[in-house]
Amino acid sequence: MKPIYCYLPPKQNYFKESYLNYTEEKEKEFRDACIRSLERRGSLLTDSFHPLDCPHNDKGNPILSVLIPLYNRADYIGKAVDSVLNGTFQDYEIIVVDNGSADGSIEEVKKYTSNGNITLLHSDSKNTARALNLGLRHAKGKYVCQLDSDDLYTPETLETLYSYMESNPDRALGVSYYDHIGPHGETLTEFGIIKHLEYDRNNLLRTDGLGAARIWHRCVLEELGGFDEVNMGSYAEDYDLELKLSEKYRVLRIPHVLYHYRVYHKQADEEVDYTVRHQKKTFARKSAVLRRRQLNLKDRRA
């Protein structure tokens, strides 16, 4: 059976209804059920968010660090890098972390490394979380942005992300809307624009994430210990970290399409098995339920 993607429109036989397509009434029904479930477990978060006191500034360093984990994407990595280089915002560095590519991807990146703000690192782990953490350790920016090696930014992505975050200094993470493109960059209008308007810190436990063009405060990523290399690896590492961050800090929803998510281009052996995907998301959710219960117990004792 082909893997099921929550965001696909209902035209494939294997499609299962997604929360992204729920009516307002149905979304409320599931949201309320999620809230009641968390209340029974003592894991519903109702306390205030922590203040964000970022120690970083933009003096002497690029303000944004764009991390691109890479594995066998020779056909697309150049397009991903170009989408950053051709943008309207120029105060950034690009850190590409190769995960052991053997298809010419490294050679494609080396075409760009004469540009002083592009760095190529090597991991050889085939572990996306580890690659992101390696890039994070080398990052100099106040903010860290993620870009998958087969996806694209819009020309305004970095400028818009930076502007919104600077205007909302209490937000630890910013996330935008996104759309879908095909193997050749063609816009897939049948998917519509994915907004994840159902997001809140509790409802996140019953959804699959909160968006695509992510911009994190580097200090918060470091505080949270980066991405989970052991339990997540190459799937749901960002979702797991979104859960952890939302337990303490505010998330900013940025109402613009700033990311083009590519589909229909992967080979069958590249897809993460549906059972594995389910197990990793379940682990992230169970871990969040336990953490949030402990947070509530700690608050009651205080």
Residue-wise over 80-118: b if at least 16 C-beta within 10 A, else e?
Answer: bbebbeebebeebbbbbbbbbbeeebbebbeebeeeebb
Q: Is the pTM of this model over 0.75?
A: yes
DSSP H helical ranges for 74-203: 77-85, 105-110, 128-138, 157-167
d(CA 238, CA 223): 15
Q: Is 92 helix (H, G, I), strand (E, B) or coil?
A: strand
What is the model's pLDDT at position 21?
85
Query: Tell me, what's the pLDDT at 16?
Result: 57
Instruction: Give me 64's structure tokens.
Output: 């944004």
Ranges in the chain, pLDDT < 70:
1-16, 58-60, 268-269
Q: Which domains does the chain have, with CATH numbers?
A: 19-295 (3.90.550.10)
Q: What is the pLDDT of residue 266?
A: 82
Amino acid at 1: M
pLDDT value, residue 15: 45
